[in-house]
Amino acid sequence: MSEHDSSVVHVSSVRLLLIVWVALMIGTWLTVSASNIDLGFLNIWVGLAIATAKALLVGLYYMHLRWDKPFNSFVFLGAFFFLLLFIGFAMMDSAHYQPNLIPGYSPGMGD
């Protein structure tokens, strides 16, 4: 490998790629089965936990973050951090004005 320093670049083994693939498949099966059981408010959190575990597998292994410079992970996680701020503040805000809404009365909406 003339262009890339082999000590920096990580080549994934086929075995690892397949193991991650199997894990992702099991994860998909798990999410679908979990959605068929009624856990009340827990359903969404169980689903999100499984989805996040799958996302971590994709990020760490398929996207090589495990062997990458940590700064790349930092940049990526930074985007999620700001997304959480965005979602968090928007939900807090709407939760505050929600009780003041008049049912069936939505100026500026419709048509």
Partner 1 sequence: MADQAHAQRDGLAVDHHFENADQQYQSAKLGMWVFLGTEILFFGGLFVAYSVYRANHPEIFIFGHHFLDKNLGALNTVILICSSLTAAWAVRAAQLRQIGMLKLMILLTILCALGFMGVKSVEYNGKWKHGLLWAGQYDPHLEDHGETSHDIIGEEIAAEADAEIVTEEMVVEASPALPAADPDRSTIAPAAEGPAGLAVEDPAAAEDTGVEVEPANAQTYFSIYFLLTGLHGIHVLGGIGAFIWLLLCARRGDFDSGHFTRVDMVALYWHLVDLIWIYLFLLLYLI
- Residue 19 interacts with partner 1 (CB under 8 A)? no
Half-sphere exposure of 34 (CA within 13 A, CB side): 18
Which letter does DSSP use for residue 100 in this model? G
Calculate the alpha carbon distances from 49 to 3, 32, 76 in Å. Answer: 40, 13, 19
Per-position x/- string for 73-102, each x denoting binding to partner 1 as judged by CB under 8 A, each - no binding: --xx-xxx-xx--xx--xx--xx--x---x
What is the CA angle 52-45-37, rounded to 5? 110
Residues forming the site for partner 1 (CB under 8 A): 1-5, 8-9, 11-12, 14, 17-18, 20-21, 24-25, 28, 31-32, 35, 44, 47-48, 50-51, 54-55, 58-59, 61-63, 68-69, 71-72, 75-76, 78-80, 82-83, 86-87, 90-91, 94-95, 98, 102-111
